[in-house]
Amino acid sequence: MKRSVTAAELFAAAEPRLELHWVVDSQAARNRVLQGCDQQPEDQLNAPTRQALAGYLNLVHPNQVQVIGREEQTHLDTQDAKSRWATIASIMANQPLAIVVSDAQTPPSDLQEAAEENRVAIWRSPHSSYANVNFLQHYLSRVLAESTMLHGVFMEVFTIGVLITGESGCGKSELALELITRGHRLIADDAPEFTQISPDVIDGTCPETLQDCLEVRGLGILNVRQMFGDAAVKANKFLRLIINLQIPDNRQALAELDRLQTGANTRKVLDTEVPHITLPVLAGRNLAVIVEAAVRDFTLKMKGIDAASDFLERHRALLAQQRQH
């Protein structure tokens, strides 16, 4: 799922933090759309494809939101009339989502006129250009990041973001409820949303309509925050591990499970390979304890400690010693 944001939506999100004010405003400017990933708005199909999201005034690789600070305005003021006109024309030709004039400066009248003609918003901010660029880059990179929704229960277990998946009726919610009673935290039940915020980092959150809720068969919808307190829920967490609950088809499938190595693999979520463990669901097994053990083992493996590999290495050493005798 690829997201988009309009100039009006960006202004509404940034205004409380950056104290923005409209200088050039029109309905067309407010409706201008910036789309995430590699998509381009229809009115920007001829624009350069290497546009960054937000940054200081740049005409070589123009930003979608051009920030003009004191240095940029001084540069404009030192140009002769012909060069100044060419610079402003180049800014507008790249069709930015908006232009932010920092440090409480007054936007030049010729820049305002050009923005009105090209239906480009100009905002004024009392904050420094650094503060504007820093906030806008962070906000746009998150709101425009590619995202997806996965079926399962997303939890924080021993500070690790764990997605519990499995077929309907395999006991995901019951397991989540038991983990919550053991001190772990719920992030989202049924339909957590995951966003690629960097090449190796996926952030998981809960849709607003599902916040604090957990569905348990026979009990219906439970409000985890009200039942267990604020400490039982968390707004977001990076996805580090996927645990899939699987009900074996028959005894033969259970007998064929490798008892030394786990069902560890990886699953691709967006553009990142996430460690994936399959746990068989059997009568009498305490899945909450097993999940806790799986997360602890995963943490040790991240530190380079692999119990199965160590055991096999000791076994090989013992066999080699016996052959020598």
CATH number at residue 277: 3.40.50.300
Of 50, 31, 55, which Cα lies nearest the Cα of 40? Answer: 50
The catalytic residue among 259, 268, 323, 325 is 259
How confident is residue 38, by pLDDT bands cut at 50, 70 and 90?
very low
Other residues' Cβ atoms within 10 Å of the Cβ of residue 42: 7
Within a domain: 262:
yes
The catalytic residue among 32, 124, 185, 190 is 190
Within a domain: 233:
yes
On whether both 16 and 100 belong to a single domain, the answer is: yes
Q: What is the pLDDT of residue 157?
A: 95
Q: What is the pLDDT of residue 114?
A: 93
Concatenate the DSSP letters of all residues of 27-38 into one string.
HHHHT-EEESTT
On whether both 125 and 185 belong to a single domain, the answer is: no
Domain edge (last residue) among 127, 143, 159? 143
Within a domain: 112:
yes
- Domain of 198 in residue numbering reads as 147-314
Domain edge (last residue) among 143, 163, 198? 143
Q: What is the pLDDT of residues 118-149, one digit of tens each?
A: 999 999 999 999 999 999 988 888 888 888 89
Q: What is the pLDDT of residue 180?
A: 95
The catalytic residue among 172, 234, 237, 240 is 172
Question: Residues, the chain, total?
Answer: 325
Clarify whether 2 is annotated catalytic.
no
On whether both 163 and 223 belong to a single domain, the answer is: yes
How confident is residue 259, by pLDDT bands cut at 50, 70 and 90?
low
Number of separate domains in the chain: 2
Within a domain: 45:
yes
How confident is residue 15, by pLDDT bands cut at 50, 70 and 90?
very high
Planar angle of CA 15, 144, 30, nearest 5 degrees: 45
Planar angle of CA 91, 4, 133, nearest 5 degrees: 50
Concatenate the DSSP letters of all residues of 223-271 into one string.
EHHHHH-GGGB-SEEEEEEEEEEE--SSHHHHHTS-SSS--EEEEEETT
On whether both 116 and 174 belong to a single domain, the answer is: no
Q: What is the pLDDT of residue 68?
A: 92
Q: What is the pLDDT of residues 182-233, one digit of tens each?
A: 999 999 998 999 988 878 889 999 998 999 999 988 889 999 999 999 999 9
The catalytic residue among 2, 142, 151, 217 is 151
How confident is residue 49, by pLDDT bands cut at 50, 70 and 90?
very low
Within a domain: 320:
no
How confident is residue 152, by pLDDT bands cut at 50, 70 and 90?
very high
Over residues 29-44, the mean pLDDT reads: 65
Over residues 140-164, the mean pLDDT reads: 90
Over residues 246-252, the mean pLDDT reads: 72
Within a domain: 55:
yes
Share of the chain above pLDDT 90, in %: 50
On whether both 106 and 157 belong to a single domain, the answer is: no
On whether both 21 and 117 belong to a single domain, the answer is: yes
Q: What is the pLDDT of residue 142?
A: 81
List all residues 6 or more positions away from 10 whose beta carbon is below 8 Å from its beta carbon.
34, 65, 97, 98, 136, 139, 140
Domain edge (last residue) among 120, 143, 166? 143
On whether both 132 and 241 belong to a single domain, the answer is: no
The CATH number of residue 82's host domain is 3.40.1390.20
Q: What is the pLDDT of residues 281-324, one digit of tens each?
A: 887 788 999 999 999 999 998 888 877 777 778 878 888 888 88
Q: What is the pLDDT of residue 42?
A: 42
Clarify whether 182 is annotated catalytic.
no
On whether both 293 and 192 belong to a single domain, the answer is: yes
The pTM score is 0.70
Predicted confidence (pLDDT) at residue 97 exceeds the cutoff of 80: yes
Within a domain: 323:
no
On whether both 195 and 257 belong to a single domain, the answer is: yes
On whether both 81 and 181 belong to a single domain, the answer is: no
How confident is residue 50, by pLDDT bands cut at 50, 70 and 90?
very low
Predicted confidence (pLDDT) at residue 36 exceeds the cutoff of 80: no
On whether both 257 and 289 belong to a single domain, the answer is: yes
Predicted confidence (pLDDT) at residue 176 exceeds the cutoff of 50: yes
Clarify whether 172 is annotated catalytic.
yes
On whether both 152 and 120 belong to a single domain, the answer is: no
Within a domain: 49:
yes
Predicted confidence (pLDDT) at residue 87 exceeds the cutoff of 70: yes
Predicted confidence (pLDDT) at residue 255 exceeds the cutoff of 70: no
Clarify whether 127 is annotated catalytic.
no
Q: In whole angstroms, what is the distance from residue 113 CA to residue 65 CA?
A: 18
Over residues 169-187, the mean pLDDT reads: 92
Across all residues in the chain, what is the average pLDDT? 86
